[in-house]
């Protein structure tokens, strides 16, 4: 019954694999709400949801309880996770590029003198390029 009702909702849920559909069974959301989250953007998978112990009106996403009717709130929380992951990746990429750029400056010049010392590189990384959480412009 759950599977049929899930697939009856218009959207990607109509062709969802059984394994994806089964992943929603433990969330206690019901087939229509589960299909709505599956069809949404961003897609919230059943494996990302869990029941809230002792409260049948709520479901956990990322350790945070949401009212079962707050599908937009659940999707917003998923988008916030995606945005945070993207921000972290941009920071890591900027840090890696800064290290590469500074290491290139450290390479020896033709007269065998270093362009920059390791101490100068560390100073530039911490004071001018990266403060640990954001890339400085």
- For the stretch 29-41, pLDDT in tens is 999 999 999 999 9
The model scores a pTM over 0.75: no
In a domain, 22, yes or no: yes
Co-location of 6 and 43 in the same domain: yes
pLDDT of residue 67: 96
In a domain, 135, yes or no: no
In this prediction, residue 98 has a pLDDT band, given cuts at 50, 70 and 90, of confident
| Domain boundary residue, one of 25, 45, 69 | 69
Co-location of 56 and 105 in the same domain: no
Residues 46, 38: Cα–Cα separation, whole Å: 8
- For the stretch 53-92, pLDDT in tens is 999 899 999 999 999 999 999 999 999 999 999 999 999 9
Co-location of 49 and 107 in the same domain: no
pLDDT of residue 47: 96
Give the structural domain span for 22: 2-69
């Amino acid at each position: 019954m759950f599977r049929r009702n899930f697939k009856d909702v218009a959207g990607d849920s109509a062709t969802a694999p059984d394994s994806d559909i089964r992943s929603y069974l433990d969330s206690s959301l019901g087939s229509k709400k589960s299909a709505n989250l599956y069809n949404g953007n961003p897609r919230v998978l059943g494996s990302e949801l869990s029941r809230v112990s002792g409260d049948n009106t709520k479901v956990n996403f990322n350790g945070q309880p949401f009212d079962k009717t707050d599908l937009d709130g659940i999707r917003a929380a998923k988008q916030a996770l995606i945005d945070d992951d993207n921000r972290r990746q941009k920071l890591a990429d900027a840090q890696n590029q800064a290290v590469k750029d500074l290491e290139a400056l450290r390479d020896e010049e033709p007269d065998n003198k270093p362009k920059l010392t390791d101490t100068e590189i560390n100073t530039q990384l911490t004071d001018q390029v990266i403060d640990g959480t954001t890339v400085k412009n």
